[in-house]
Amino acid sequence: MCSERIQRAHVEASKQPTRDGGSVVQPIQDQQVYRHVGYVMNGREDVAHRVGPFLKSAIAMGEPVVIACPDPMASALAAALGSDQDVHVVPAEPIGHRPPDALAAIADLVDRDLPGDGRRLNLVTGPGRQDAGSSWLQFEALLNHVLADRPVDHLCLMTAVEATDTAAMARATHPWLLTDAGLVPSPDYRAPEELLREVQRAGEPDPLEATEPTLALVDLDDMRVLRRALNRVLAQSALSPDAAQDFVLAIDEVTANAAEHGIPPVDVRLWCTPERLLCAITDHGACFDDPLVGYGPAHGDMAVGGMGLWLARRSVDSLTASPADEFGDGCTVRLVVNA
């Protein structure tokens, strides 16, 4: 069953005004199965006043609603919707965790509650941690990629934050917006791969790379040497033993991938500070240019292999790839862990 309220919004949005004041009706294209809706709240409003009618229309169509928001917001929304058997309140997901972990948690929640009879699921999340960095922006953008094939209307609640332009970030990462005028398409929505590529390139090269590395292994040809050196250095770092082992796993996976699919030599450099750690792995092969790769298992069988980037992403706070030099030659993969 398609969501009529989204279809109606799309019909209205297709009537785009022309520059001379006229109106032209654009052809309506099929929407993605996953429909990501953003709503930026001010600090004083009653969230149920705007969100309640949106969710009630879903209930009226027989679609279940799952509320995964912190209290008291979850309680206020549940009270506004009444005691309907299709309304479920669940613990808020850990949106503040690393993006791959948070994405996996949201996907698990959707798969657990998604109806198996053709109905859509309506999911409400947030407001979560909205920092001034890029983690939240990347997480919201990646939802459109990771959940693309799920029949879900996902309403993300966000609060305006002084340190960030929340409204602009919401428009860039949500194809749909809930506004005073109702549900409207975002005029500034950007495809996840385009947005992520821009965010990642803005942070390269990392400022730490202008300093002397804590560890440098040039023309590496023995993974055992790498692991021993990493364990020795990271034992003296600000990371916990578990976090250090996760970092070693991520570096090992990416280095092995460079050795297998890249062109030697493979160089590994590590920088350690009390705040964060950076590992740059460089080979002379072609660089992969897909910022979405590795945000889901390549397949379901761990024994087959081919899941190194997925494992690495879940072990670090950031994993990016870019050409190794200004001429586009070689590939450098950067792994960052916040201490």
Host H or E run for residue 268: strand 267-272
Q: Are residues 184 and 273 in the same domain?
A: no
Structure tokens that stand for 212 in this block:
């002397």
Residue 212 has pLDDT above 60, yes or no: yes
Q: Are 223 and 127 contained in the same domain?
A: no
Considering the domain architecture, whether residues 97 and 190 belong to the same structural domain is answered as yes
Q: CATH number of the domain at 169, please.
A: 3.40.50
Domain count for the chain = 2
Residues 226 and 139 occupy one common structural domain? no
Instruction: State the pLDDT at residue 32.
Output: 56
* 41 and 183 part of one domain: yes
Q: 174 and 243, same structural domain?
A: no
Distance CA 157, CA 94 (A): 14
Could you say which of 196, 225, 259 is where a domain stops? 196
CATH number, domain at 219? Answer: 3.30.565.10
Q: Among residues 196, 228, 261, which one ends one of the domains?
A: 196
In this structure, the answer to whether residues 43 and 162 fall within a common structural domain is yes
State whether 326 and 190 are in the same domain.
no
Tokens 């912190």 sit on residue: 70
Residues 227 and 184 in one domain: no
pTM of the model: 0.82
Give which of 196, 203, 151 is closest to 173, Cα–Cα: 196
Residue 86: Cβ-neighbour burial (10 angstroms; 0-12, 13-18, 19+)? middle
Domain end, chosen from 145, 178, 196, is at 196
pLDDT digits (tens, 9 = 90+) for 274-307: 999 999 999 999 887 788 988 866 545 544 445 7
Instruction: Return the H-helix or E-strand segment holding 154.
Output: strand 152-159
Q: What is the residue range of 30's domain?
A: 4-196
pLDDT (tens digit, 9 = 90+) per residue, 91-143?
886 555 677 888 888 999 999 999 989 899 999 998 876 664 577 888 899 99
